[in-house]
Structure 1
């Protein structure tokens, strides 16, 4: 790694680091109002190992929070329900997991002394010209404000998402997901990881505390980490643009706020020792709390098609215009329990 691969900021209420690879934000330390220091963002256990350099860009130093344009990646349609299989195409030429920005080194931009700013130009064949990201600690609070801009070469529709991944305590059930009320929840229509399923496929639910389980009955998807080894995805529609994780073991709450008009759904990625192959090796425990405009992250072809989520009236892609750059703002903040 080069000396300039990371930059950091400190302020009265914390310290943060951003890496050029994926423009990923972590580690972050917040100083709470009671004086305690907490670090809520996740860092993958392999990220500092030499063998990680051979991994795809997004996995190499997987950590914290970053934006995804386009969000998602294509998967084979084998064994999927018919209403999904009919809209699942092959990967597009040059398709990268969660988009070009998730897999490459961004360039530092000049910015105010109290913020960090980065830019990444996309390949010439992409409808996206460039993406920009500015990360600014709140000088008055243990909080970080983030601006994300997308500039396109031509009019297009794309699925997009934000990808915050949070650390979980070691003890089963020692953290609680707090979503508030929502309109509809959906389980993944297939296995996220074969042999590591927890929830019934392709079902709906109204409460996170009672998600249909593959073994029958309901599972509480709000208490983390799980006792069982599992890898799962849930999509939540109709939230008000806020979600929180209360870490009871470490005595803090971390809250995420976003613009729901840009991200009408929330994808919950439960990575709970379910993936056994390298580099995961059954040791990856984290929760992704990801505002999205996407159908489960199933890739651009599915997102642009008349998929079952789009049919229900929930947008799974956004319109972009070269005349008007897209700008969204979101915030990560911490407080004591």
Structure 2
């Protein structure tokens, strides 16, 4: 499968090495050298990237991997099976709507950088209220960490759901990783079913601890310990979170931590992709955890995000206002440490 010569660029430094691809500006693989001399690679790479037919997939799936920005975040879906207060707010996607936005599905261009970072940008279609995204990936010269900056330039005044999409590797054996969120106000289960044969949590319920999430059949479930033994595909949203989360990979004896500006992303979406999707290219083998800082109601798309939805009514914003010509800048960090 041929690739343009500029499809990937990499950086190496004292504490690690990383690769960014032009498609989606996705970051992975990322290898970090811990102070004890061990190397860890915390980011997920989908198993089908080099398989025959991968280039025919939608852009976001083609070489799905690691971390990237989503502007706007989500994708509109009809409210089939959702509770009544959600159904009226959920609609089929618009004809030009792309999953997680234009930047997630198209190739970015490389910009000049200082040799110690990678910088990319992408122009949005003229019909979009977003003019341009720019992204800079900067290894920390002093440790096993990467700092990332995202700039969003607005073409016109608008409100949009926005998000970041870090996706992390899970160990293959059950319950060998632990999610460690910062303090959060409350969590919510998804207002619909992600995959009909791979559901685990009760629909549209509120919880206060990740260790006691309402289950589909009444009992509470510890959702902090992954992966699950069964095939599961689920979403959980933690609202009012303090701007950090960690994943302790006990099988490989390291912790990866993500931190961000909580004033920009007041919620964390947990995408538990636990071998639950059976259609191609997933084929029941996709095992990963998305820990995604968002200003959005789950991934339900712009129309639902702008509506008076239950998450927004609870006091957590689900869309950000942009002024015409505004350049919005946010920064976040991925780092690793030994357990």
| TM norm structure 1 | 0.99
Determine the structure 2 residue equivalent to 1:5. 7
Tell me the distance in 1 between the aligned counterparts of 2:244 and 2:204. Answer: 25
How far off is 1:324 after superposition?
2.6
Determine the structure 2 residue equivalent to 1:229. 231
Structure 2: tracts of 5 or more residues without a match:
none
Determine the structure 1 residue equivalent to 2:299. 297
For residues 25-52 of structure 1, the C-alpha deviation after alignment (integer angstroms, 9 at most, x for no partner) is 0000000000000000000000111211
Determine the structure 2 residue equivalent to 1:23. 25
Look up the SS of the partner of 2:303 in the other structure: helix
Tell me the distance in 2 between the aligned counterparts of 1:220 and 1:247. Answer: 16
Residue correspondence of structure 1 range 247-326 to structure 2 within 5 A = 247-326=249-328
For residues 59-85 of structure 1, the C-alpha deviation after alignment (integer angstroms, 9 at most, x for no partner) is 000000000000000112222111101
Tell me the distance in 2 between the aligned counterparts of 1:172 and 1:190. Answer: 25
Contact 2:154/2:324 (8 A) holds in 1: yes
Tell me the distance in 2 between the aligned counterparts of 1:224 and 1:70. Answer: 29
| TM norm structure 2 | 0.98
Contact 2:269/2:292 (8 A) holds in 1: yes
For residues 107-157 of structure 1, the C-alpha deviation after alignment (integer angstroms, 9 at most, x for no partner) is 000011100000000001000000000000000000000000000111100
How far off is 1:181 after superposition?
2.2
Determine the structure 2 residue equivalent to 1:218. 220
Look up the SS of the partner of 2:103 in the other structure: helix
Tell me the distance in 2 between the aligned counterparts of 1:236 and 1:39. Answer: 26
How far off is 1:180 after superposition?
3.1
How far off is 1:243 after superposition?
0.2
Residue correspondence of structure 1 range 67-146 to structure 2 within 5 A = 67-146=69-148
Determine the structure 2 residue equivalent to 1:66. 68
Determine the structure 2 residue equivalent to 1:239. 241
Tell me the distance in 2 between the aligned counterparts of 1:48 and 1:67. Answer: 23
What is the number of residues matched between the two proteins? 337
Tell me the distance in 1 between the aligned counterparts of 2:159 and 2:19. Answer: 32
Tell me the distance in 1 between the aligned counterparts of 2:95 and 2:282. Answer: 27
Tell me the distance in 2 between the aligned counterparts of 1:235 and 1:102. Answer: 21
Tell me the distance in 1 between the aligned counterparts of 2:179 and 2:50. Answer: 28
Tell me the distance in 1 between the aligned counterparts of 2:94 and 2:157. Answer: 18
For residues 268-308 of structure 1, the C-alpha deviation after alignment (integer angstroms, 9 at most, x for no partner) is 00000100000000000000000000001100000011111
Tell me the distance in 2 between the aligned counterparts of 1:168 and 1:54. Answer: 27
| 4+ aligned runs moved over 6 Å, structure 1 | none
Contact 2:122/2:133 (8 A) holds in 1: yes
Tell me the distance in 2 between the aligned counterparts of 1:40 and 1:32. Answer: 12
Tell me the distance in 2 between the aligned counterparts of 1:85 and 1:195. Answer: 21
